[in-house]
Each structure stands twice: as structure tokens, then as C-alpha cells.
Amino acid sequence: MPAYKAPLEEIRFILNEVVDAPSLTSLPCYAEATAEGVDAILNAAAQLCEKVLFPLNHTGDVEGCSFVNGEVKTPHGLKEAYKTFREGGWTGLSCKTEYGGQGLPLLLNCAVDEMINSSNMAFGTYPGLSHGAYNALERHATEDIKKTYLPKLVDGTWTGTMCLTEPQCGTDLGLIRTKAEPQADGTYRITGGKIFISAGEHDLSENIVHLVLARLPDALPGVRGISLFLVPKFLPETKARNAVSCGRLENKMGIHASSTCAMNFDGATGWIIGKPGKGMSAMFTMVNEARLFVGLQGLGLAEVAYQNAASYAKERLQMRSLTGAKFPHKPADPLIVHPDVRLKLLTMKSLTEGCRALAFWVARDMDIAAKHPDAQKRAEAADFVALMIPVVKAFTTDMAFDATNAALQIFGGHGYIRDTGIEQYVRDARITQIYEGTNGIQALDLVMRKMTEEYGRLLRRFFHPVAEFLSAEKDNGALADFLPNFTSAYSKLQMASLYLFTRDAADADEAGAGASDYLRLFALVAVGFMWLKIAKAAATKALTAGDLAPFYDNKLKTANFYFSRILSQADAPYRAIISGSKPIMDFPAEGF
């Protein structure tokens, strides 16, 4: 069976030394997020994840959710775990205090989310979706709705969902058919069917709050005609069951303890959230944070897969080292002596640690965008978040699937069977590349929306800090071995950006053909930038580290691997981008 130990030292290092989480305490609303308080929360979260959630991960996968007479039952132990989770205040960590939350930074919530996803990703979907619903209601609902629903979502007695997808449309939400008919009392009758609804029906909470995209009778076609509605499972005033039900529990590849449902709305009572026809903009209040959360799911799975693969590689005896026995007193050497195994482990390690830094950097700027008193600072941070969300979501989840597969490969045949628990991580990771917008859609969002907005305004939020860092650190001896490779990859990203930017207006297929390669190139450079910041921090701390010197030396050696072996991969997507769309689009459809 697998094991998990919360990487608190790694998390604290990124928070405190790389993304400067302590600076958030300068924001008035976060003044109480002291180093001591944050540390206590991280320690408590680690205990919860290791002792309560992780033991249920494998059993929950084997048992799965069950569907009987329209009711969904979660696996044994999940209900009790959710009660412990809720009573510990974890559902309201970064929610406003006026609704019963703790008012702590989203960045801290993200650090906790990583641990939750490592220990039990399926469990994490329930409170994760509730937080998205909280965000949408807090920003767009009327005061009466806020007073009724937000305290319950914050304390976890109610949970939330996002109801977007329908059988005939996934990403193209302009095709939705669910209808909303106005009623004399100001409510709406919601009729239609939604599929793939995570946490759509379950037994963990007293009520489930569905946020549903639907069309009014006079709605415009396409996405301009979509509105957002709140549809509770039970009506708060009367406690009566609403006309919403689960029609089917999906039999899916992974995250079996998470209930993925087909939901039927049969004239259900709902309330409009935000303005008519503005449902997509209201929904995107949920989507940005939800996409970051999915990236954190990938990060959590990559971390736990790496931990188990590294442990197994140090214990499993397999052949002798290519350069002679390293453990001659044993019948064979452990896997860790073999170059290919080390290559896989270092790839997992360097990408996991780099993606953690990148995700936390974006989360910090989400806090700044929401809470900074200076409007210009808020706008700049919001631009940066908008640019980086597709990168974090797509690259981290792609990395997670590769990492879990690499872990399975290191385990060999023992990884392929269910008893060791490694194959579960592969199955669980696969959905992260699909939901909240497939990774191909994330790439299109980056290239066709974010890159071109106002002649590259969003791109400058990344390029300018990188240029400033390179100028300031050009003579830093600790980075001397890393800067040439980074500068080369950074130049390729700039050239690729110019190439796609100049061709997008003339031929959108050029941008579409290069989008996924561009996102990968961007991510490799972005993670490389984080490794420059990690290396700088590690080199500085190593001078006075004492007993912690091996920790910082480990960081510098991992940075060396990233810049030598991973960042060199930037050339391939660059060459693919400048090859253009012809090799793809000139191929006849009948040839497939």
C-alpha cells in the first residue's frame, strides 16, 4: 500500500522564501495571518490529511459511490471524515469572517489543498466545489441570498456544485438547452439535464446548492443568452425537496469516491444570480479558482506519486549497477542506482517542486487582485492571474499524469496491480487534464485570448518581471550555471509569442495549430523562472543554514537537473510552433 507524508518543509520553503507569502500580512485583511498562525494551520492540515483522509483513499477507490433509488451513498468512512473536516473549520479557511469564515489568504488555502489532493483527491472535490459556489454567490448574489446561503456553505453544512455540461455540449456552452422560465414571485422554473456534475448528489451534507447555467425565454443565441441560477436541493424556507434529482451515477475511470452525476431539473425552483445574459461572466468567478484548484489536484497527485516511487526505488532490489555492485552485501542493487530510474525520479521531483512554486505564485497574486488597497496593484495582479491560470491548469495536470505514469513504471508489475495503490494515481490524474476545460482549450485560451489582449498587455505581466530579474541577477555567481540555458529558452518563448501574435489575425489556424506547443513552451520557461528564484533563495539560505544545508544543497542540485535536462526540451515546441499549420490543416479529412 502507498504512503504519504505531508511535505511541510517544501511547502514552507516555497511560501516563505520564494513567493514571499509573509508580505500578504501587509494587506489589512490578512494582518492576522502571522507566521506562527500559518505554521499551526499547516501542521494541523498535515495531521488531518495523513491520519484521516489518506487511509480512506484506497478503500474509497475500491468501494466507490453507490446509487440506489435516486440516492447516492459515499464510501465507508467518508461521511465521518467530512464531519471531522467541517467541524475543524477547513471549509471556511479563506472565506470572509462575516459569513463565519476565517478570512485567511487563498494562498494558504492552496497549500492545504495540495495536501488534501495528495491524501485523497476524490474527497477534496466536495469542499473544493463548495468554495467555488461560495465565490460566485459572494460576488454576484443579492444580499438576501448571501445571508441565507453563504454561512451554510462556509461552515460546510451545505455543499455546492457547478452545473454546466449537457449531453450535446461540453466546452461549447453556447449550445446549452436548459430553460429558465420566470415566475410571478420572482423565482424561475429550471428545466433541463446536466451531465458530469461532480458532487451533484451525495450524503455528506444537509443540502446541495446547484449553480446552473440556463436560458431565459427571450435569450440571445450562443453564450450571450446564458444566465446563472441558484437551485438548491432543498428549499431553505420550507425544507421541501426541490424538483432536482440525480438520474445516474457515472461509472468512471477514476476518483471513484467522488460522486459524478447526471442531474435532472424538472421545473425546479431557482433564483437568478447576477444579471440576465451574464451567466458566463458570473460563472467565471468560479472557473479561474476552480482551474487553479485542478492544477493543485495534479500537484498533489504528482507529489504523492513521487514520494512512493522514490521510496520504492531505494528499497526494491533489481540487477547490479551498470558500473559495478554498489551494495555487494546484497543479492542485487536497489533501483535507485540505475540512471533511467534516477532520470524519472528527478523529472518528477523537479517538475513537482517547480509547479508548486508557480501555482503558489499565482495564488498569491489572486490574493493581491482581490484584497490590495491600490487599484493599480489589483489590476496588475488580476492580469497576471488571467494569463497564468491556463498554464498552471494544463501544464501541472499534464505533468501529474506523466509523473504518476513514471511512478507506475518504477514500480513495474507491482505498480500495475491494484494492491500497491499506484495505478489509482494514474487513473485519478487522468481526469484533471479533461475537466474545467480540457488542456487543449486552456492552450487556445492562452494563445487566442490572453496573448492577444490589448497588444500583449497580459504577456507583459510575466515578461517584465522575468526581464527585471535577469537584469538584477546577471552577475549572481550562484545562478551562473543556470542563466544561459534559461535565457535561451526565454528568447524562444519571446520569438514564439511574436510568431503567433503576428499570424493570429491573418489565420487563426496558425494560432490553433501552435497553441498546445506554445503553452508547453511557456510553462517550461515559467517553471524555469521559478527554479531561478528557488536557486537564488537556496544559495542565500545555504550560507547560514547549519543543519539545513543539505536541504538547500538538494535544491541547487535539482535546479541543475532542471536547467540541464528539462529546460532543454523548450526547443522542440518552439520548432513545432514555427512549422505552422500547413502540416496539420493541409491533410485531407478523408485521410483520417
Active site residues: 436
Answer whether 255's CB lies under 8 Å from 357's CB.
Answer: no
Nearest to 127 by CA among 204, 49, 58, 45: 204
Check if the beta carbon of residue 577 is closer than 8 Å to that of residue 521. yes
Which among 136, 153, 166, 128 is positioned nearest to 228, based on CA atoms? 136
Tell me which residue of 460, 359, 356 sits closest to 403, measured CA to CA: 356
- Could you tell me if 45 and 118 are in contact, meaning their C-beta atoms sit under 8 angstroms apart? no
- Residue 126 CB-half CA count within 13 A: 29
Q: How far apart are the first and last CA of the chain?
A: 43
> What pairing do the DSSP bridges indicate for beta strands 244-249 and 71-73?
unpaired
Q: What is the DSSP string of 215-255?
A: E-TTPPSGGGGEEEEEEESB-TTT-PBPSEEEEEE---SS-
SS3 at position 213: strand
Q: What residue spans of 102-142 are helical by DSSP H?
A: 106-140
CA-closest candidate to residue 211, choices 149, 123, 294: 149
What does the alpha-carbon distance between residue 310 and residue 505 come to, in Å, rounded to a whole number? 48
Packing angle of the helix pair 55-63, 422-432 (nearest 10 deg): 80
Residues 6 or more apart in contact with residue 38 via CB below 8 angstroms? 15, 21, 108
H/E stretch holding 10: helix 8-13
- Residue 246 CA to residue 250 CA, distance in Å, equals 11
C-alpha cell at 540: 542565500
